[in-house]
Structure 1
Amino acid sequence: MYVRHLTVADFRSWPSADLALEPGTSVLVGSNGQGKTNLVEAIGYLSTLGSHRVSGDAALIRFGAERAIVRAAVVSEGRELRLEVELTAGRANKARLNGSPIPRPRELLGLLRTVLFAPEDLSVVRGDPAERRRFLDDLLVQRTPRLAGVRADYERVLKQRAALLKSAGAARRSGRTGDLSTLDVWDSHLATHGSQLIAARLNLLDALAPEAQSSYASVARASEPFTLSYLHSISTLDGSERDAGVIEAALQGELVRVRPQELDRGVNLIGPHRDDVELRLGPLPVRGYASHGEGWSAALALRLGSYELLRADGAEPVLILDDVFAELDASRREHLALVAGKAEQVLITAAVASDVPAELQGARYDVHGGEVHRVI
């Protein structure tokens, strides 16, 4: 799989950009602030419908513009697909596939698979649980696109149920009992969608962990073993349960148990939105204990593990390395270059060309002054 062509309009800093690409290595070189990361971010957006730098879409639309457009021609298994997303401030995004409108942008998911490694990935290992949940769910949807619907349904239930908890809690504090039968219905919805999401995450983690552990051992040979484990917000479940039906029953029971606290606080206290993925080096968690180098190794291992997992599924993803070689020491650079050199397509951004290992000096593009040019 590779991106043959990228076009953006009013995306980030670019009024317009047109970039022809090819299989193998492509290196985008430009000083900070020239927009090279914005170009690979656009490709990543078509893959995940999200940015690796910001949580919302508003910042992706160029200042002063009403909308942004990202288009790409993607070659996969001998056929070419044309993907397009239009982002409009304050309105639902629109998408096209091969020039024809599709009902929902998420129908593009799975058509372009990418693994993007960037300095922001340190937040996955050092940041809040939300960062690790997002990492896991983005990978989950790339492997199994239909789960994007489950994820969206669960988020919708959370919003509806939170609003109901606030209103019911306010009525309770004012001395009115209120009718909680509607809350029972939303409990059922949360348990149904939430259990599917948890079961899918657990199965994904089972597949990802060996790949990430192997990658970490290759990157940091003298370090403690790297392990990943899922931390439930459901107190009655241990880490071995994978059956969605059993998880649903446990989640339903936990919602009954914590309902008084939820009504008092007006928030959803139980469910996959409260879970975490614990990363450990030997007996200690990475977060709070790992050195800077160990943190980089853990972040790199997660991305390389994701890459190997997607490759094993049969459709080799596009590997995107956004300004990372300058951050890595010699051994990590060497291992990353070894993996990247085998990829069908790898897109690299760098402030200076010398940051990129010699074995990855493929096609070069200079990014400067709002323009991008291939160096002949």
Structure 2
Amino acid sequence: MYVAHLNLTDFRSYAAVDLELEPGITALVGPNGQGKTNLVEAIGYVATLGSHRVPTDAALVRAGTQRAVVRARVVRELEAGRPRPTLIEIEVTPGKANRARVNGGSPVRARDVLGILRTVLFAPEDLALVKGDPDQRRRFLDEVLVQLMPRLAGVLQDYDRVLRQRSALLKSAGVARRGGGADLRTLDVWDAKLAQVGARVVVERRSLVDQLRPHVARAYEQVSAGQGEAVVSYKASLDAALEVEGSVHDGVDLVEAQLLEAMGRLRPKELDRGVCLVGPHRDDLVLTLGGLPAKGYASHGESWSYALALRLASFDVLTDPDGTGDWGPDGEPVLVLDDVFAELDARRRERLAELVARARQVLITAAVADDVPEPLAGARVDVMGGEVARVL
């Protein structure tokens, strides 16, 4: 698949912009602060309904306006090899439910367009996947999962809603309990809801990590020239609470029962602290390098290599989700490299260029054209002062 056209209205710094794109490699070149990243951020938003730069939508809307509109024409190939263009339009309205349209049809929920476009975006912010807090790594897993199985977006939203409700109840019940008048029957209901939805999240994340593991190890070896073995594993908070080791083969029913048991064990502590102490919101993707935790032990260069390996592994899983060697029905996701080559040393820059050059569509942002390695020479678009111009 590839993005053939991008149109933005009041998105970030752009009042309006039209950008025609082609398969292959395209470099968006211009000084910092001119709007290059805004363009690839918009493409990533169409695929994930989120930004790799900010946690909420408010910053995506141009100052002084009420909403932004992102339109992308995505070309996918049918099994017979015929192209199939799809026009996606998303209205971003902070404080309200975003709406979307497909091929000019009636408005639908924004999450109904998930799965039409799939992207893998690597940016300087990805260093936080290795050096940052667990929430960064949980978000990485969930974004890949939603692109693999768009219906999981609803499951994750349900989990967040139940988590908020249960957390609020824990706080109020904790206060009432200290006063001697707590009725915990309602909490039992929310325990059941959290376990039911949370079990699905845990099971799918464990399965994804199992898929990613060999790809991460191979990609790290390729990027770093074999300097250490990279291993990823899933650390579930319920395993620590129950003092057991989880298995990728545990089914949803078993994990649901385990979550209920863990919440029962931790309820006194949860009431005292007013927070949910177990569930997928407290899980982590554990990254080790040469048997040691990557966070705290890996050098700056090794951390970059690990972050690259995670993104390259997700690209491989999205391309071949069944692990059969046959590409999925829509082929490879669009690969976006946002200002990453300036952050890499010459050796890692060369290795990354070799690994990504084969992708169906690669979009690169760079401050200067010389930052783009020779193997990735292709089309060029200059970006300056909110204007885009293709260089012939």
TM-score tier after normalising by the smaller chain length: over 0.9
Instruction: Answer yes or no: is the 8 Å Cα contact 2:49–2:111 preserved in 1.
Output: yes
Matched residue, 1:290: 298
Q: How far apart are the structure 2 equivalents of 1:221 and 1:370?
A: 40
Q: Establish whether residue 354 from structure 1 lines up as the match of residue 358 from structure 2.
A: no
**Equivalent position SS for 1:100:** coil
Q: Distance in 2 between matches of 1:250 and 1:94?
A: 37
Alignment of 1:221-300 (within 5 A): 221-234=225-238, 235=240, 236=242, 237-241=244-248, 242-300=250-308
Inter-partner Cα distance in structure 1 for 2:200 and 2:107 = 26
SS of 1:308's equivalent in the other structure is helix
Distance 1:142 1:175 in 2: 48
In the TM superposition, what are the counterparts of 1:289-368 in structure 2 within 5 Å? 289-313=297-321, 314=328, 315-368=331-384
TM-score (norm 1): 0.98
Q: How far did residue 206 of structure 1 move?
A: 0.5
Give the C-alpha shift of residue 267 in structure 1.
Answer: 1.0
- Is the partner of 1:101 in helix, strand or coil? coil
Letter in 1 for 2:262: E
State how many pairs are aligned.
Answer: 375
- Equivalences for residues 211-230 of structure 1 within 5 A: 211-230=215-234
Report the alpha carbon displacement of residue 332 of structure 1 after superposing the two structures with TM. 1.5
Residue 201 (str. 1) matches residue 198 (str. 2): no
Residue type of the alignment partner of 1:245: D
Separation in structure 1 between the aligned mates of residue 319 and residue 31 of structure 2, nearest angstrom: 32
Distance 1:103 1:264 in 2: 43
The corresponding residue for 1:150 is: 155
- Aligned partners of 2:220 and 2:226 also within 8 Å: no
Residue type at the aligned position of 1:213:
A
After superposition, the CA RMSD in angstroms is: 1.0
Number of the residue aligned with 1:83: 88
Give me the whole-angstrom Cα distance separating, in 1, the residues matched to 2:332 and 2:107.
25
State the match for 2:23 in structure 1.
23
Q: What stretches of structure 2 of length at least 5 have no aligned partner?
A: 78-82, 322-327
Structure 2 distance, partners of 1:346, 1:332, is 18
SS at match of 1:228: strand
Distance (whole Å) between structure 1 residues aligned to residue 230 and residue 62 of structure 2:
41
CA contact (8 A) 2:29 2:383 kept: yes
Post-superposition CA distance 1:182-210 (Å, at most 9, x none): 11111011001101000000000000111
Q: Name segments (4+ residues, structure 1) moved above 6 Å.
A: none
Q: What are the superposed Cα offsets for residues 126-169 of structure 1, whole Å, 9 maximum, x if unpaired? A: 10000000001100111111111111110110011111111111
Q: What TM-score, normalized to structure 2?
A: 0.94
Q: Tell me the percent identity.
A: 60
Distance 2:107 2:118 in 1: 19
* Candidates 89, 94, 97, aligned match of 1:92: 97
2: CA distance, partners of 1:27 / 1:103: 33
Shift in Å, 1:102: 4.2
CA distance in 1, matches of 2:133, 2:151: 27
2:113 matched residue in structure 1 = 108
Contact 2:12–2:61 (8 Å) recurs in 1: yes
Which residue in the other structure is 2:61 paired with? 61
**Following TM superposition, by how much is the alpha carbon of 1:76 offset from its aligned partner in structure 2, in angstroms?**
0.6
- What SS does structure 1 have at the residue aligned with 2:186? helix
Letter of the structure 1 residue corresponding to residue 96 of structure 2: R
